[in-house]
Amino acid sequence: MCKKLTYKNILFLGDITGRLGRSVVRDLLEIIKNKNFKSKEIVELDADLEVLKNIDFYMANCENASGGFGLTKKNYEDLCDFGLQALTGGNHIWDKSEIYNYIHNATNIVCPINSSNKLPGLREQFFNIENYKLAVLSVLGRTFMPPVNSFWEILPEKIEKIKKVTPNILIDFHAEATAEKVCFARWASDMEVSCVLGTHTHVQTADEQIINNKTAYITDVGFCGAKNSIIGMDYESSYKKLSLGIASKNSVVKKGTALANGVIVTINMETGCAIKISRLKFIKKYNIEDNNMNKES
Ligand SMILES: [Fe+2]
Ligand SMILES: [Fe+2]
């Protein structure tokens, strides 16, 4: 299929969760880059293969990549080595204390714009896709979430400034409440943002759409991690925490069937208009713990 040169395909993967999440993302990216879609290792690959063969830019949410909470330096470097070019944060992005030491040099990570400015990390970043620029923002929701600054007040001025540089703007809207996500997307679309991709709930929704002939939207992209789990965590600890209402440390599931959820968005980079969004699901089994993956977390 002939592809217009001004159209670029962006793969965005949902919250990478723990070692199993890192393993499945590594293997999915290898399959995509080698166009090895008939590999016997694939249990399921549900995606638009025509666009999957032509990905121009790879990104993911990384807030849970190390043991389910935060991101170590080693794991940041691993995710970049796998081929991820941009990584968005979320409410857990600062959970591993070592991030305070390395984030100043971690130019692929974009942290939430409406969290306290006393926390380190870039709040916006421009990435090159051939001759075009893609601005990436991470925004935290405020409904059923820890308190953060009002994105309603911060974003309009910020987006106007970005539009002087590029019409291509992708926002990871990291939020819990569906109504807040849908309303945010409509509001951001009126400001001519190219993509609003929801994260945080770890469950993929089936409402992908183009709003106003401009903005690619999905309420939640889903996640990358253990398929048979409670959003990446083991059943026993989740049950104890939820049924008894007491603090119980969730532990991330490290082996078994892994799922990678994502979306592929096609943007006309001349206009900043998204023209297509489609969902991706990839499943692979890891019956023993992946010894090639570092065991830090
Ligand atoms: Fe998450
Ligand atoms: Fe989150």
Residue 71 is predicted with a pLDDT of 98
Q: Which of 195, 246, 192, 203 is nearest to 227 (CA)?
A: 203
Mean pLDDT by 10 residues, the chain (297 residues): 82 98 98 96 97 98 97 98 98 97 97 97 97 98 97 98 98 98 98 98 98 98 98 94 85 95 98 98 89 66
| Residues, beta carbon < 5 Å, ion ligand 2 | 90-91, 200
For the chain, the farthest-separated pair of C-alpha atoms sits apart, in whole angstroms, at 57
What is the DSSP code string of 38-101?
A: T-TT-SEEES-HHHHTT--EEEEE-TTTTTTSS--HHHHHHHHHHT--EEE--TTTT-STTHHH
Determine the Cα–Cα distance for residues 49 and 9; give it in Å rounded to an integer. 12
H-run or E-run covering 239: helix 235-244
Q: Report how far residue 15's alpha carbon sits from residue 281's, in angstroms, rounded to the nearest whole number.
A: 13
Rounded to 5 degrees, what are φ and ψ at 26? -55, -50
* Beta pairing class for 215-218 and 223-226: unpaired
The bound ligand whose nearest atom lies closest to the alpha carbon of 61 is 1
Structural domain 9-286, CATH architecture: 4-Layer Sandwich (3.60)
Domain range list for the chain: 9-286
Give 285 Cα–ligand 1 centroid separation in angstroms.
22
CA of 267 to the centre of ligand 2 (A): 26
Q: pLDDT at position 64, please? A: 98
Burial 173-187 (b: 16+ CB within 10 A, else e): bbbbbeebbbebbee
Ligand 1 centroid–CA 250 distance in Å is 13
First to last CA, the chain: 42
Q: What is the pLDDT of residue 287?
A: 86
Cβ-based neighbours of 118, under 8 Å, separated by 6 or more: none
Active site residue 92: yes
